[in-house]
Amino acid sequence: MNDLTDLLVYGLPALLVVGLGVVGLRSRSRRGREPQAPPTTTAEDVEHAPTTDGSAPTATVEVPTDGAVVAEPVAPAVEAPEPVAGRMVRLRERLARSGSPLGTRLLQVLSRDHLSEDDWDEIEETLLLADVGAGPTTELVDRLRERVRVLGVREPGAVREMLREQLLALVDPSLDRTLRTAPGVADDGSSHPAVVLVVGVNGTGKTTTVGKLARVLVAEGRSVVLGAADTFRAAAADQLQTWGARVGVPTVRSDKDGGDPAAVAFDAVRRATDEGADVVLVDTAGRLQNKAGLMDELGKITRILSRRAPIGEVLLVLDATTGQNGLNQARVFGEVAGVTGIVLTKLDGTAKGGIVVAVQRELGVPVKLVGLGEGADDLAPFEPEAFVDGLLQG
């Protein structure tokens, strides 16, 4: 009887505890074997994911479908470029901060009570140091001499207005600075995109300028196709593709390094025609060592492109900080490529704003666009009045 009592008192509770433990272990084991939903990656997780090939950022999102993991591409966010109107205001402010010798120094000298020959020599030296060029400098000094002699101008306000008038005449606001980017109509009535060929020596910011120009055109409501015809530098095509992707613009490029630039340009125009795009921007190689090679390459591109559509613009990109040295480049490209307009990059980074006058005189074509800085939207149509006002605020 005592044995039975001990079993009931001590044995049954122990068995109950052991049984519950076994049930718990089995339950946890079953839960551990249950399928877990795969982790998901959101667009926020990969918004700033780096790329290795210079292309536009892309990402994949893992989503559960019947227990499987499916990779889906996430398109990069398309940016909205800043409006083009008013961009030259930034240049005016930056020219003022640069302390341009065309502004402060000229006004100081011209405001003196009596202008000696030494004063006129100082004015001439100031203009030459600002890269205005010998011919335009002589013209401006002669005009200022005449105005001072006849009018006897001395008051600061009158001196400023006189100098503004003469500088504006040198920059020549009468030049047609319109970018020919409107689609055209062929003889058979079919439409074709405007073709813009961008040329220049590597290192002047040529490829970056093409990307920024695409943003200018997108901001104006134009549809654009980019042609990466600088096939000698894979980095150039990658860079251009990244610029285009940021504003939803496709880039046509070679599938191998060193491909035929003319073929890439042709394919870009063909794609733009098929898709009804407004403008094709073609980036060309600048690493050509002699005039003959340059002529052959650009001549072939021009000839091939003309089979699809006429070339509306040939824009030469020049680095404003190179000053008079950049004019040697301008001469060669002007002779070879039939340049229709100049793009001056890094104009905000130099006090030598006279390069605008010099390059226009050298090539006989207008400055149409200027680089205002390193920002994505720091490219603006050139406005002579805003430019001269910026010089005189220095």
Are the beta carbons of 169 and 356 closer than 8 angstroms?
no
Alpha carbon 382 to its chain centroid, in Å, reads 15
Instruction: Check whether 169 is labelled as a binding-site residue.
Output: no
C-alpha 215/C-alpha 295 separation (Å) is 29
Instruction: Check whether 205 is labelled as a binding-site residue.
Output: yes
Instruction: Check whether 208 is labelled as a binding-site residue.
Output: no
C-alpha 218/C-alpha 247 separation (Å) is 7
Alpha carbon 254 to its chain centroid, in Å, reads 21
Instruction: Check whether 348 is labelled as a binding-site residue.
Output: yes
**Cβ atoms within 10 Å of 232's Cβ, excluding its own:** 17
C-alpha 201/C-alpha 198 separation (Å) is 10
C-alpha 198/C-alpha 209 separation (Å) is 9
Number of helices and strands in the chain (H, E): 15, 12
Backbone dihedral angles phi then psi of residue 5, each to the nearest 5 degrees: -65, -40
Helix axes of 134-151 and 156-171: crossing angle, nearest 10 degrees: 150
Instruction: Check whether 160 is labelled as a binding-site residue.
Output: no
Instruction: Check whether 207 is labelled as a binding-site residue.
Output: yes
Instruction: Check whether 352 is labelled as a binding-site residue.
Output: no
Instruction: Check whether 104 is labelled as a binding-site residue.
Output: no
Return the structure tokens found at 388. 């001269």
Instruction: Check whether 200 is labelled as a binding-site residue.
Output: yes
Instruction: Check whether 206 is labelled as a binding-site residue.
Output: yes
Give the CA angle between residues 378, 381, 384 to the nearest 5°: 115
Instruction: Check whether 347 is labelled as a binding-site residue.
Output: yes
Provide the residue count of the chain: 394
Instruction: Check whether 353 is labelled as a binding-site residue.
Output: no
C-alpha 291/C-alpha 284 separation (Å) is 15
Instruction: Check whether 6 is labelled as a binding-site residue.
Output: no
Return the structure tokens found at 86. 């008013």
Residue 384: closest CA among 326, 344, 340 = 344
Return the structure tokens found at 357. 């006058």
Binding residues for GTP: 200-207, 283-287, 345-348
Binding residues: 200-207, 283-287, 345-348
